[in-house]
Amino acid sequence: MKIDSKSGAGYYRVGGNKAKVAYSIEIDDMVIADYDEHGAVLGIEFVEAKKHLGDAEKYVKLANQKSKGPHKIPEKISHAG
């Protein structure tokens, strides 16, 4: 997860998908999931990232459950932002 040192926000990119964000859903308090046009999770934004260190995988699963379209959980999750 990449964390912005000034804002404290973090972004966890899922897989290597470079698609554009089609929509976003707040999946938990101050946790926002970004999706492509097919409903695949592109990444998770944590407004207060330090509170969620180690929780990224849990939120990827939750984001997949809340998707508005057909989606596939990536086999590999990139830990690089």
Higher pLDDT, 41 or 70: 41
- Write out pLDDT tens, residues 10-37: 999 987 778 899 999 999 999 999 999 8
Higher pLDDT, 53 or 73: 53
- Is a pLDDT exceeding 80 seen at residue 78? no
Percent of the chain residues past pLDDT 90, beyond the cut: 43
For residue 13, give the amino acid letter: R
Whole-model pTM over 0.85: no
| Element at 62 (helix H, strand E) | helix 56-65
Confidence (pLDDT) at 65: 87
The shares of helix, strand and coil residues in the chain, as percent rounded to the nearest 5, are 15, 30, 55
